[in-house]
């Protein structure tokens, strides 16, 4: 299985901050990397697919980059509704695997 | 906008079979892949497997011996069966459209394995 490792595991930030979350794959996954946001008691919500494609309806504050093994999710200016847990997921090969999550908390 | 809804028992006894159904509304189940994913505190998000509307399947090797996913296109539903469950199978179970990214999800259903 491809292992997905996110860093940091948790992050404290303030409204208006620029935040970057990193995801590393244990082998190359080309650009088959997706990002999700999950709030407590809710299903994950797709933000970015194919490493850098913004899902329809998602704020342009969110952006993704990377290819191969190293990827980043950037939130350009944190809003109160952005405090949540973020997951990366590879869809290059089955079994599809997820990172362990990054919990973004209010400072 | 396609919507998904999981249904099934919230409590299953150890060694029995967990059975869940996902009903798809607002769109056809045809021409897409459909996945089951679970989330437990101990293991995070875990992909269980997918089914294509034609019936072809792909399962996570870690669960393959216990998993069956099936589809009923006439009802716009697909289903999950997980046999010989233990407490480790306690989780929130989600169904999702696999595009191959998961762009639509059900709300999730908590299944507890306990006697």
Residues of chain A neighbouring B108 (CB-CB closer than 8 A): 43
Is A50 within 8 Å of chain B by CB? Answer: yes
Is B47 within 8 Å of chain A by CB? Answer: yes
Residue A33 has pLDDT above 90, yes or no: yes
Percent of chain B topping pLDDT 90 = 93
Coil/strand/helix, residue A52: coil
Is B60 within 8 Å of chain A by CB? Answer: yes
Mean pLDDT for the stretch of residues B5-30: 97
Residue B43 has pLDDT above 80, yes or no: no
Segment 64-93 of chain B within 8 Å of chain A by CB: none
Instruction: Please tell me the number of Cα atoms within 13 Å of B75 on its side-chain side.
Output: 10
Mean pLDDT for the stretch of residues B72-100: 96
């Amino acid at each position: 299985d491809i292992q997905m490792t996110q860093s940091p595991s948790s992050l404290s930030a303030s409204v208006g901050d620029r935040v970057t979350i990193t995801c590393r794959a244990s082998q190359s996954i080309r650009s088959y990397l997706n990002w999700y946001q999950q709030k407590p008691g809710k299903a994950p919500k797709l933000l970015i697919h194919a490493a850098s494609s913004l899902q329809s309806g998602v704020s342009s504050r969110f952006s993704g980059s990377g290819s191969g093994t190293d990827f980043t999710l950037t939130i350009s200016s944190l809003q109160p509704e952005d405090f949540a847990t973020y997951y990366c997921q590879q869809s290059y090969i089955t079994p599809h695997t997820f990172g362990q999550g990054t919990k973004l908390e209010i400072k | 906008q396609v919507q998904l809804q999981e249904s099934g028992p919230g409590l299953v006894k150890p060694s029995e079979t967990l059975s869940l159904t996902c009903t798809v509304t607002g769109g056809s189940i045809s021409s897409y892949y459909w996945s089951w994913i679970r989330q437990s505190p101990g293991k995070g998000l875990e992909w269980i497997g997918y089914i294509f509307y034609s019936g072809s399947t792909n399962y996570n090797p870690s669960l393959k011996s216990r998993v069956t996913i099936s589809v009923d296109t006439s009802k716009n539903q697909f289903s999950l069966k997980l046999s010989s469950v233990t407490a480790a199978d306690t989780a929130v179970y989600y169904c999702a459209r696999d595009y191959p990214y998961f762009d639509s999800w059900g709300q999730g259903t908590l299944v507890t394995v306990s006697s």
